[in-house]
Amino acid sequence: MKAIIVHGGAGRHGGDRFREKLDVLREAASRGFETLRKGGDSVRACEEAIKCLEDSPLFNAGTGSVLTLDGRCEMDASIMRGDTYEIGAVAGVDRIKNPISLAVKVMEETDHVLLMGEGAMKFARLMGFEYYDPITEERRKQWEELKKDFLEGKETPWNKIRGLIRRHPELLAGTVGCVAVDDRGVIAAGSSTGGVFLKLFGRVGDTPIPGAGIYATPYAGSTATGIGEGII
């Protein structure tokens, strides 16, 4: 029996944009389920659902991802197929629109599990992914304000980030994810994120790590959200 579930990440999702976010989540689930209805497999359903969330600036994945301490966008994504235990993941990628699709390419087109940084971007261009700037003006403004707050603090770096999140819980716009099962009973799990605001350049969280950010077996699938260091 085919089924799909999506989430928009840990954090505060109330306020003026709650309905907008809920609408995007419904659209993501609908796109994924339509893929299943047309005979697509669970991997493709997860990809389509997560692409919908990555394309919305309301979530911390793809367009609208949060920025690093030096004002860059470094995104992570992963996909796992439960019947074969195949995995594809990318870490620290930028200048592409849909990291989840790149993770799928890693799984389907390479013998590797995880590609990162510039190597992952070279692979993306080889696979035909076009240049795209995922940084939004809203995220840039938040970064400017938060970096000032961050630099004026007197605590250790990670305590500063935790303090910022306590004062501005809306910034904990976490990882998005999806779990799907197709008519063949194959389960897949996928995840995508921009990470945590003001993270150090090169930081990798749980999202691209099998057994931490995602996992899928013939019997179950899961996708995590929250502060990656705690999950790992």
Residues with a known catalytic role? 175
Listed in sequence order, the DSSP H helices in 38-136 are 42-55, 99-109, 117-126
Residue of 25, 30, 9, 49 lying closest to 188 (CA atoms): 49
Strands 176-181 and 114-116: unpaired
Q: Give the integer Cα–Cα distance in Å for 9 and 177.
A: 7
Q: Give the integer Cα–Cα distance in Å for 149 and 116.
A: 30
Q: How far is CA 77 from CA 93, 123, 159, 171, in A?
A: 9, 15, 26, 19
In three-state secondary structure terms, 128 is: coil
162-200 core/surface letters (b: 16 or more CB in 10 A; e: else): eebbeeeeebbbbbbbbbbbbeeebbbbbbbbbbbbbbe
Strand partners, 203: none
